[in-house]
């Protein structure tokens, strides 16, 4: 049985890379879960893998040679070629012209298009709407990472204000008099600009330059210079010492955003695996529907021939009631052909929706037909190797680990939030005042007047109940994440065992169903050979021939069902191991994004 191996297909995401370019160190790089977390995860995986590793190793599923034994015990070797020609997968013409497809929904003869499994998978990966939707998620979360990292970018600020004051003031003269005017008038223009940046230590650095022109008049007071120009340059550093200290807290949102990006990529991989698996399932179901239509059509043709022989005997021993009964059975078979045509069309439409080919949309009346035959080859497997492969490749494992990492980050932040707030402030300000800006700047350069400030700001809530409650919440959430990881590994192990069990069972069942088909074919062949004689063509034997025809058709359906189930179970096994994309030569690539910037 000839099959086609899919060629390599690259899936390139439109999202940014998770890591910075090689050799470019960045404070935003997240090495992932800490070592204690990694050790805990590995220990859990080892516990899950322990029972399988005690097994015998690789297993090659075998099946009893029922066909050979049946042929040998019943001396059917001379008739084996005729039996396989009478029924079975090799007895049909799979050309599109031989398919009784009927008419399409527009009343025209049904047009068909052959499609290989390789092309079906390729088109699904490229065009499927759900895959296209999932492909945008990493790009969206990459922008969220940029937003989180932007909190540490330099911020330029600039303020400008003009002010005019006319205020009464207290009398500060030394001679009491009721004739003195007591007031203060001031006109000023102030411009402040500078740069500010959040630091990964949790602190903030500010550089600020302030320029002010003022003209003051206050009673009989005398100011010099007036008007005057003031220039100030300030350097200020604020650093939390307890609460909000350190990169673990400052970069928490960045690392959560990076994990969200990683999770979006794992969800995309999971979506690709799901859609490829659906495509393979639907493709093999289309194979089954196609084969069933051919089986049903052959059954109708055989029934029509038997009915013709019955009608010939109406003048001999056939009664009208017997012929009518046979006619009813033939019409039932004709109706089943129409139903089988409908099943093929519906399966074709479902496959169209999955591949979403713009040249063959769902609304098209073009019928998709399978160009590949199902496989019937044994596949070696090892439960321990399969489990190790699944833990390494399943997207659900990555998602569970990221969930633990997220919970750990939030717990660290909540633990830090229980500390009192103690902030250190260091400030240096260079001042200058003169009657013109040029002189003021010259004084500032000479640094005649410099202010220094050192401050500590302390604050703690009485009881600190809110912070303690949040920390307990985050601790419980992390426990939930660890339990969820264990459940994920357990569910993967269960799914994997079921997939391997189904694979081995379906492989063995094929042989039994093939033996049953040969037995039914021999039963019909022998009866037809006996009926070739005039004495053998009794009405009872012709009615028996109708029964055996239906029995053979049922055996053929059971055989193709077993073969299709086996091919689906092969795809499900690779999906359970997380290697379905690699099996179809689909390369899952996340390119570096040169537009990503670090600190």
Q: Give yes or no: residues 454 and 475 share one domain.
A: no
535 and 559 both lie in a single domain:
yes
What pLDDT is attached to residue 13?
35
What is the model's pLDDT at position 19? 28
> Per-residue pLDDT tens for 349-384?
999 999 999 999 999 999 999 999 998 888 887 888
Confidence class of residue 348 from pLDDT cuts 50, 70 and 90? very high
202 and 269 in a common domain: no
- Reference 413, options 298, 555, 282, 256; nearest CA is 256
Q: Say if residue 492 is in the same domain as residue 567.
A: yes
Average of pLDDT values for 312-326?
79
- Of 467, 490, 506, which residue is a domain's last? 467
In a domain, 29, yes or no: no
Asked whether residue 315 falls in the same domain as residue 339, the answer is yes
- What sign does the CA torsion over 473, 476, 482, 487 have? negative
Where helices occur in 433-538 by DSSP H, the ranges are: 437-446, 465-531
| Length of the chain measured in residues | 599
- Packing angle of the helix pair 465-531, 66-73 (nearest 10 deg): 20
- Do 406 and 520 sit in the same domain of this protein? yes
Q: Tell me whether residue 597 is in a domain.
A: no
| Range name among 156-160, 220-224, 529-533 with the lowest pLDDT average | 220-224
Neighbours of 38 (CB within 10 A): 13
Q: Which CATH number is 103's domain given?
A: 1.20.1600.10
Contact predicate 254/28, CB 8 Å:
yes
Same domain, 339 and 476: yes
Q: What percent of the chain has pLDDT over 70?
A: 84
What mean pLDDT, rounded, does the chain reach?
84
What the block records as the tokens of 377 is 């080859």
Name the residue among 224, 203, 257 with its Cα closest to residue 423.
Answer: 203
- Long-range Cβ contacts of 497-502 (<8 Å, 24+ apart): 497/383, 498/576, 499/569, 499/572, 499/573, 499/575, 499/576, 500/381, 500/383, 500/386, 500/573, 502/565, 502/569, 502/572, 502/573
Shared-domain flag, residues 527 and 551: yes
The interaxial angle of helices 465-531 and 539-577, nearest 10 deg, is: 150
pLDDT at 595 over 50: no
Asked whether the predicted pLDDT for residue 37 surpasses 70, the reply is: no
Half-sphere exposure of 304 (CA within 13 A, CB side): 9
Report DSSP state, residue 315.
Answer: G
Same domain assignment for residues 279 and 392 = yes
Secondary element (H or E) of residue 393: helix 383-393
Residue 107 has pLDDT above 50, yes or no: yes
Quick one: pLDDT at residue 58? 59
Same domain, 86 and 105: yes
Q: Please check the confidence at residue 270 and state whether its pLDDT lies above 90.
A: yes
The predicted pLDDT at position 545 comes to 87
Q: Is the Cβ–Cβ distance between 354 and 278 less than 8 Å?
A: yes
**Average pLDDT estimate for 211-219:** 83
Q: For residue 445, what are the CA distances in angstroms to 136, 431, 442?
A: 54, 10, 5
CB distance 373 to 89 below 8 Å: yes
Query: What is the model's pLDDT at position 359?
Result: 92
Distances (CA, A) of 441 to 206, 230, 402, 427, 450: 21, 9, 55, 20, 14
Rounded-to-integer distance, Cα 433 and Cα 515, Å: 107
Asked if 197 contacts 152 with a C-beta cutoff of 8 angstroms, the reply is yes
Q: Is residue 483 part of a domain?
A: yes
Q: Is residue 67's pLDDT more than 70?
A: yes
Torsion of CA 406, 410, 412, 416, to 10 degrees: 160
> Does residue 55 surpass a pLDDT of 80?
no
Q: Are 185 and 219 in contact (CB under 8 A)?
A: no
Q: Alpha-carbon dihedral of residues 106, 111, 114, 120, nearest 10 degrees?
A: -20
CA 477 to chain CA centroid, nearest Å: 24
Q: State yes or no: cis peptide before 65, omega within 30 of 0.
A: no
Task: Establish if 91 belongs to a structural domain.
Answer: yes
Mean pLDDT of 487-494: 91
**Is there a single domain that holds both residue 525 and residue 499?**
yes
Note if the bond before 227 is cis, omega within 30 degrees.
yes
Measuring CA to CA, which residue among 361, 309, 254, 273 is closest to residue 549? 309
Q: Which of 419, 572, 520 is nearest to 91 (CA)?
A: 520
**pTM, rounded to two decimals:** 0.82
Asked if residues 263 and 517 have their Cβ atoms less than 8 Å apart, the reply is no
How does pLDDT run across 428-437, given as a tens digit for each residue?
Answer: 998 888 878 7
Answer with the one of 467, 501, 536 that is the final residue of a domain: 467
How far apart, in whole angstroms, are the C-alpha atoms of residue 334 and residue 302?
11
N-to-C CA span, the chain: 59
pLDDT surpasses 90 at 594: no
- The answer on 568 and 458 residing in a single domain is no
End position of a domain, from candidates 426, 451, 467:
467
Does the pLDDT of residue 35 top 60, yes or no?
no
Domain range enclosing 232? 153-168+182-250+418-467
Asked if the structure places residue 48 within a domain, the reply is no
Q: Once rounded to an integer, what is the mean pLDDT over residues 41-59?
A: 59
If you average pLDDT over residues 216-232, what whole number do you get? 79
Q: What share of the chain is helix, strand, coil (3-state, %, to 5)?
A: 55, 15, 25
Quick: pLDDT tens for 149-194: 999 999 999 999 999 988 887 665 555 544 455 777 889 899 999 9
Structural contact between residues 395 and 454, judged by C-beta atoms closer than 8 angstroms: no
How many structural domains does the chain have? 2
What pLDDT was estimated at residue 199?
A: 94
Query: Which pLDDT score, from 0 to 100, does residue 378 have?
Result: 81
Rounded mean pLDDT of 80-88? Answer: 85
443 part of a folded domain = yes
Pairing of strands 586-589, 9-12: parallel
Instruction: Tell me, yes or no, whether 174 lies in a domain.
Output: no
Nearest to 137 by CA among 277, 265, 19: 265
Give the count of beta carbons closer than 10 Å to the beta carbon of residue 155.
14
Q: Is the pLDDT score of 17 beyond 70? A: no
Cα–Cα distance for residue pair 194/204, rounded to 1 Å: 13
| Confidence grade of residue 5 (pLDDT, cut at 50, 70, 90) | very low
Burial zone of 493 (CB within 10 Å; 0-12 exposed, 13-18 middle, 19+ buried): buried
pLDDT higher than threshold 90 for residue 44: no
Whether residue 42 lies inside any domain: the answer is no
């Amino acid at each position: 049985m000839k099959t086609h191996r899919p060629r390599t297909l690259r899936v390139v995401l439109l999202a940014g890379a998770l890591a910075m370019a090689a050799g470019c160190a960045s404070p935003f790089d997240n090495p992932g879960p800490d070592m204690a977390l990694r050790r805990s995860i590995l220990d859990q995986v080892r516990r899950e893998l322990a029972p399988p590793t005690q097994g015998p190793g690789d297993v090659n599923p075998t099946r009893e040679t029922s066909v050979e034994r049946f042929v040998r015990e019943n001396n059917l070797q001379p008739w084996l070629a005729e039996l396989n020609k009478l029924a079975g997968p090799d007895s049909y013409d799979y050309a599109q012209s031989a398919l009784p497809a009927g008419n399409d929904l527009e009343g025209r003869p049904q047009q068909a298009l052959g499609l290989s499994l390789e092309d079906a998978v390729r088109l699904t990966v490229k065009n499927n709407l759900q895959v296209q939707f999932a492909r945008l998620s990493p790009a969206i979360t990459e922008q969220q990472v940029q937003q989180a990292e932007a909190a540490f970018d330099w911020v330029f600020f600039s303020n400008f204000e003009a002010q005019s004051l006319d205020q009464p003031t207290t009398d500060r003269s030394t001679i009491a008099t009721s004739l003195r005017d007591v007031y203060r008038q001031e006109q000023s223009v102030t411009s402040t600009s500078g740069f500010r940046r959040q630091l990964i230590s949790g602190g903030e650095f500010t550089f600020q330059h302030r320029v002010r022109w003022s003209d003051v008049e206050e009673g009989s007071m005398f100011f010099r210079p007036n008007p005057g120009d003031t220039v100030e340059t300030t350097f200020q550093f604020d650093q939390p010492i307890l609460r909000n200290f350190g990169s673990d807290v400052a970069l928490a949102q960045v690392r959560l955003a990076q994990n969200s990006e990683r999770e979006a990529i794992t969800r995309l991989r999971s979506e690709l695996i799901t859609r490829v698996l659906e495509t393979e399932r639907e493709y093999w179901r289309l194979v089954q529907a196609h084969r069933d239509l051919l089986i049903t059509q052959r059954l109708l043709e055989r029934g029509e021939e038997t009915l013709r022989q019955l009608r010939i005997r109406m003048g001999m021993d056939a009664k009208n009631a017997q012929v009518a009964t046979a006619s009813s059975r033939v019409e039932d078979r004709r109706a089943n052909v129409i139903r089988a045509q409908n099943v093929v069309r519906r399966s074709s439409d479902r496959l169209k929706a999955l591949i979403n080919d713009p040249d063959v949309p769902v609304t098209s009346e073009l019928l998709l037909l399978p160009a590949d035959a199902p496989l019937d080859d044994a596949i070696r497997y090892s439960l321990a190797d399969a489990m190790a492969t699944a833990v390494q490749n399943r997207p659900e494992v990555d998602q569970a680990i990221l969930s633990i990492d997220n919970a750990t980050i939030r717990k660290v932040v909540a633990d830090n939030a229980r500390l009192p707030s103690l902030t250190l402030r260091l400030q240096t300000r260079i001042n200058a005042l003169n009657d013109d800006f040029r002189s003021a700047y010259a004084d500032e350069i000479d640094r005649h007047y410099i202010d220094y400030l050192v401050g500590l700001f302390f604050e703690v809530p009485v009881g600190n109940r809110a912070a303690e409650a949040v920390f307990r919440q985050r601790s419980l959430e992390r426990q939930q994440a660890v339990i969820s990881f264990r459940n994920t590994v357990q569910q993967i192990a269960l799914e994997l065992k079921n997939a391997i069990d189904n694979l081995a069972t379906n492989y063995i069942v094929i042989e039994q169903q093939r033996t049953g088909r040969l037995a039914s074919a021999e039963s019909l062949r022998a009866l037809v050979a006996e009926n070739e004689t005039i004495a053998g063509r009794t009405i009872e034997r012709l009615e028996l021939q109708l029964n055996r025809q239906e029995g053979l058709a049922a055996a053929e359906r059971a055989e193709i069902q077993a073969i299709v189930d086996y091919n689906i179970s092969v795809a499900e096994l690779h999906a359970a191991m997380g290697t379905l994309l690699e099996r179809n030569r689909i390369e899952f690539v996340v390119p570096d994004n040169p537009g990503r910037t670090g600190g």
